[in-house]
């Protein structure tokens, strides 16, 4: 009888613990913080953001009370290497750009301007730092936005590519950019200056298509290693008809 009394509370405790865990998993978010990333899991999917890291960045820059901006950079503005006076403390700009580069892991909207400003870390000037502070004010506007990896996403990859022909005023090189989505979930993105000068916008767009194709191929191999197979091939979208025709007839070039 004594043995039965010792075992019964243990079994009841285990049953109540399991039911409590199931209720928590179905009703609340299971969250954690890892290397500045806030990760939360729910039946809807996995949520990822860096809001705590962003708030610390705003506090270090003294912009917690600043007015937020809607866009991170003026699309009509052009920055040059020798534009404006030199900063008194270049390390301030370099640290800020380094933190913003790490923030692009969850904020795809600032990828273009961050890669643009990272070109001036060797000799930063006052207009470069002012443009960087505008990114911080924009981050205050989009602080609540998160990445969602939905549980209802279908197994199909989509790639979107674009380029800005001769965007760099100093080298006349183009900027390529792309993003890859797993149905409605954003997986990867990139914005980078092309290595060579493109003679036409068609060539710049075609190089962007080649870059997103390599990314899709790498992701396909990664999913194969994880034993995830796609029923349909990946789709690539581009807004330049000439580069699309060139991709269809690449063997004739």
Whether 137 and 103 share a structural domain: yes
pLDDT per residue over 65-102, tens digit each? 888 888 888 888 888 888 889 999 999 999 999 999 99
Number of independent structural domains in the chain: 2
In a domain, 18, yes or no: no
Tell me the pTM: 0.79
200 & 177 share domain: yes
Residue 190 within a domain: yes
Query: Domain limits at 54?
Result: 32-152
Residue 178 falls inside a structural domain: yes
Q: Note whether residue 249 is domain-resident.
A: yes
* Domain assignment of residue 26, yes or no: no
In a domain, 38, yes or no: yes
Per-residue model confidence (pLDDT) at position 159:
95
Angle between helices 51-61 and 126-141 (to 10 degrees): 140
What confidence tens digit (pLDDT) does each residue in 15-34 have? 444 443 344 444 455 578 77
Question: Does residue 160 share a domain with residue 125?
Answer: no
φ and ψ at residue 132, rounded to 5 degrees = -70, -35
DSSP secondary structure code for residue 123 in this structure: S
In a domain, 5, yes or no: no
* Domain identity same for 65 and 145: yes
So what's the pLDDT on residue 33? Answer: 79
In a domain, 116, yes or no: yes
Please report which confidence band the pLDDT of residue 244 belongs to, taking 50, 70 and 90 as the band edges. confident
Residue at which a domain ends, from 152, 177, 208: 152
Residue 218, CA atoms < 13 Å, CB-side half-sphere: 9
Domain boundary among 152, 175, 198: 152
Do 40 and 148 sit in the same domain of this protein?
yes
Asked if residue 37 and residue 147 are part of one domain, the reply reads yes
pLDDT of residue 25: 46
Q: What is the DSSP letter of 67?
A: P
Residue labelled with tokens 């979930």: 185
Which of the listed residues 152, 186, 202 is the one where a domain comes to its end? Answer: 152
Q: Computed over its alpha carbons, how large is the radius of gyration of the chain?
A: 24
205 and 244 fall within a common domain: yes
Question: Are 121 and 97 contacting, i.e. CB atoms less than 8 angstroms apart?
Answer: yes
Same domain, 185 and 77: no
C-beta separation of 220 from 230 below 8 A: yes
**CB-based contacts of 130, cutoff 8 Å, min separation 6:** none
């Amino acid at each position: 009888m004594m043995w039965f009394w010792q075992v019964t509370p243990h079994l009841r405790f285990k049953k109540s613990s399991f039911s409590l865990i199931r209720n928590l998993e179905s009703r609340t978010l299971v969250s954690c913080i890892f290397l500045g990333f806030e990760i939360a899991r729910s039946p809807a999917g996995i949520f990822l953001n860096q809001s705590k890291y962003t708030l610390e960045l705003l506090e270090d820059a003294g912009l917690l009370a600043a007015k937020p901006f809607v866009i991170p950079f003026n699309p009509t503005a052009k920055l040059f290497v020798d534009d404006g006076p030199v900063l008194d403390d270049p390390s301030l700009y370099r640290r800020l750009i380094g933190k913003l580069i790490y923030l692009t892991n969850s904020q795809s909207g600032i990828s273009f301007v961050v890669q643009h400003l990272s070109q001036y870390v060797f000799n930063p000037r006052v207009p470069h730092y002012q443009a960087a502070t505008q990114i911080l004010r924009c981050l205050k506007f989009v602080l609540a936005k998160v990445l969602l990896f939905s549980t209802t996403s279908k197994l199909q990859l989509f790639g979107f590519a674009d380029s800005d022909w001769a965007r760099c005023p100093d080298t006349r090189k183009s900027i390529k950019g792309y993003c890859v989505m797993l149905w409605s979930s954003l997986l990867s993105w990139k914005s980078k200056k092309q290595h060579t000068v493109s003679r036409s916008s068609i060539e710049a767009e075609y190089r962007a298509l080649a870059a997103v194709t390599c990314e899709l191929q790498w992701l396909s191999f990664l999913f194969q290693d994880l034993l995830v197979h796609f029923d349909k091939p990946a789709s690539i979208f581009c807004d330049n008809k000439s580069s699309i025709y060139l991709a269809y007839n690449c063997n004739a070039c």
